[in-house]
Amino acid sequence: MVPRLTDARKELRRAQIAEAAVRCFGRNGLERTSIADIIAESGLSAGSIYAHYRNKADLVQAVARGDLAERARVLGGHASSDAPPDPDELLARLIAAIDPVKARLGVQTWGEATTNPAIRDIVVDMTDRMRAMLQDCVTAWLVKVECHEPAEARESAAPIAHRVMALYQAELLYTALESLPEETAP
């Protein structure tokens, strides 16, 4: 009993594959991206990809999870600053941080979620989590800046957070629709 790729190395390969997949998905969509495309984009081979992901669905799932997690991370960063921004400012910051490629991937993920239970669970879970973070942020603003009572602030924050979330998602959609995917090299 001896050799196996170190876990760090293994994770690196997974990331390499996932990143290539993100580029392909952003360019051609989840379903129109073939394994061959990902092979070309990553510079790896079929065997290698299947050694790291059980199948394409597994890869798509990992990519979707990663994308949403990153978006949540960015949101967390902008939301939990010392001086809580007002809701308009919060929304403006979130919108400013939107990346077109990720926006396309996100919207594709929504489409996939409508018929794919695994993806649906990921999207719903992440959306709920992000909304909760927004609510925290708005609550902090209500308490610190608007001098609300903490008890009641949390309640009033909920519908505001809901709206910020909705407006952010709509903006994600518009960004996705406005940006054209870059062509693949000839």
Helix-helix angle 56-79:7-28, to 10 degrees = 90
Tell me how many residues contact its own copies (CB under 8 A). Answer: 34
Site for its own copies in 44-103 (CB under 8 A): none
Q: Which phi and psi (to 5°) does residue 5 adopt? A: -60, 135
For its own copies, the closer of residues 19 and 171 by Cβ is: 171
In the list DNA, its own copies, none, the entry touching 97 (Cβ below 5 to 8 angstroms by class) is none
Integer Cα distance of 98 and 51 in angstroms: 33
Best CA proximity match to 127, nearest among 139, 135, 138: 135
147: Cβ contacts below 8 Å, ≥ 6 apart: none
- Asked whether position 108 contacts its own copies by CB under 8 A, the answer is yes
Residue 48, contacted partner among its own copies, DNA, none, CB below 5-8 A by kind: DNA
Residue with Cβ nearer its own copies (71 or 104): 104
Q: Which is closer to DNA, CB of 8 or CB of 147?
A: 8
**Among its own copies, DNA, none, residue 170 binds (CB under 5-8 Å by kind):** its own copies
Phi/psi at 131 (5° precision): -65, -40
Q: Does 167 bind DNA (CB under 7 A)?
A: no
Q: How far is the CB of 178 from DNA (least distance, A)?
A: 27
Task: Count Cβ atoms below 10 Å from residue 94 Cβ, excluding itself.
Answer: 22
Query: Would you say 148 and 142 are in contact if contact means Cβ atoms under 8 Å apart?
Result: yes
Residues in touch with DNA (CB under 7 A): 1-6, 9-10, 13, 33-36, 43-48, 50-52, 55-57
